[in-house]
């Protein structure tokens, strides 16, 4: 499964990209607002820091506006993926972008029916929001399973990008459910490395090694 970072913090991104485990980046208006910096500048810096896809979201709500903004965003770098909302206008824009060869990430998906429409429109990625569904009493992972089944039934190329990930357990379950990608906050990414038994085992190994008085070099 591909792992994307959900961030606009270029310093954190560069640090985590050094692991070789970051496949791409997603951004949204909230993250851009928190950065306090010009959007186009932030996207350009992120695209220069990673080779993989970088989702940059339009702000317009009408099809014509989305197309204008999306083309502008796509011109920043070849790895920009234009992020559009899962609305009627958004899917019309998605279809046009697909015909123009512009990659898209259709966001704010909360049902399998929405995901079906996005795939038919030619979306490159569909972003089901797992955590937000959980917050409203549903099981977000059920949606991943449903989308996976539909896409496999009809051979859709649209990739499932699990979003609104809250924990390492979410990442694991999304992978088991067949999600192609997961976009995760930096703190969750760092938590993937950790397990108390790993740390305990290393402490024991290092303690035992020190007692030998040896050096490998």
Q: Is 83 marked active-site?
A: yes
Q: Considering all CA atoms of the chain, what is the largest pairwise distance in Å, rounded to the nearest integer?
A: 71
Measured CA angle at 25 (ends 138, 87), to 5 deg: 50
Q: Which residue has the tokens 């697909």?
A: 98
Read off φ and ψ for residue 170, nearest 5 degrees. -60, -40
Q: In terms of Cα–Cα distance, which of 206, 207, 174 is closest to 4? A: 174
Distance CA 178, CA 182 (A): 11
Using alpha carbons, list the distances in angstroms from residue 43 to 25, 53, 60, 77, 155.
10, 11, 17, 9, 32
Distance CA 140, CA 214 (A): 51
Using alpha carbons, list the distances in angstroms from residue 106 to 72, 148, 183.
17, 16, 13
Among residues 34, 72, 83, 120, which one is catalytic?
83
List the catalytic residues: 83
């Amino acid at each position: 499964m591909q792992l994307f970072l959900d961030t606009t913090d270029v310093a954190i991104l560069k640090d985590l990209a050094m692991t070789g485990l970051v496949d791409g980046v997603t951004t949204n208006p909230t993250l851009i607002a928190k950065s306090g910096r010009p959007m186009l500048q932030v996207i350009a810096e992120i695209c220069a820091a990673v080779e993989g896809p970088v989702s940059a979201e339009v702000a317009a709500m009408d099809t014509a506006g989305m197309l204008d903004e999306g083309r502008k965003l796509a011109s920043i770098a070849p790895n920009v993926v234009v992020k559009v909302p899962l609305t009627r206008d958004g899917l019309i824009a998605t279809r046009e972008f697909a015909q123009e060869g512009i990659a898209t990430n259709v966001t704010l998906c909360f049902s399998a029916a929405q995901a079906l429409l996005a795939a038919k429109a030619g979306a490159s990625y569909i972003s089901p929001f797992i955590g937000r569904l959980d917050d409203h009493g549903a099981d977000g992972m059920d949606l991943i399973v449903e989308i996976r089944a539909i896409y496999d039934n009809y051979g859709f190329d649209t990739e499932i990008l699990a979003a609104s990930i809250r924990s390492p357990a979410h990442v694991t379950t999304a992978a088991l459910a067949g999600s192609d990608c997961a976009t995760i906050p930096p703190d969750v990414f760092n938590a993937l490395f950790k397990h108390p038994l790993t740390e305990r085992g290393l402490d024991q190994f290092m303690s035992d090694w020190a007692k030998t008085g040896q050096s490998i070099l």
